[in-house]
């Protein structure tokens, strides 16, 4: 079952036109893993940070869905890029907070 789902993720990621990144089916499959990764990243932050794991995922979704179409090697590549974006979301949030 899991093997079928991971193959489905890769297939959805590589649909022609890059439109799958905003597709409901893809996000239903990848959300649990993104949530786990966002939770781990947020839990490593200082105690006064203001973003929740859900907010980090939402911003990651926006950044992924508005970038130029991307050719994904596989789901591991997608998760690595998403985790990188999550870290940048936190960095951007810290920098914004410094200027307020």
Task: Show pLDDT as tens, one digit a residue, over the chain (100 residues).
Answer: 344 566 888 888 887 555 566 678 888 999 999 999 999 988 877 776 678 899 999 999 999 888 777 778 889 999 999 999 999 998 888 766 555 5
Which pLDDT value is given to residue 99?
58
pTM of the model: 0.80
Which pLDDT value is given to residue 97?
59
Contact, 60 vs 85, CB < 8 A? yes
- The percent of the chain in helix, strand and coil, each rounded to the nearest 5, is 80, 0, 20
Which pLDDT value is given to residue 2?
45
């Amino acid at each position: 079952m899991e093997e079928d789902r991971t193959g489905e993720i890769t297939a959805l990621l590589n649909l022609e036109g890059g439109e799958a990144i905003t597709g409901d089916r893809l996000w239903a499959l990848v959300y649990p893993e993104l949530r786990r990764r966002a939770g781990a990243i947020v839990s490593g932050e200082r105690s006064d940070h203001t973003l929740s794991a859900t907010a980090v995922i939402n911003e990651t979704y926006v950044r992924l869905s508005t970038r130029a179409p991307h050719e994904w090697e596989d789901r591991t590549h997608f998760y690595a890029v998403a985790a990188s974006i999550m870290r940048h979301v936190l960095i951007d949030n810290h920098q914004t907070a410094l200027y307020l």
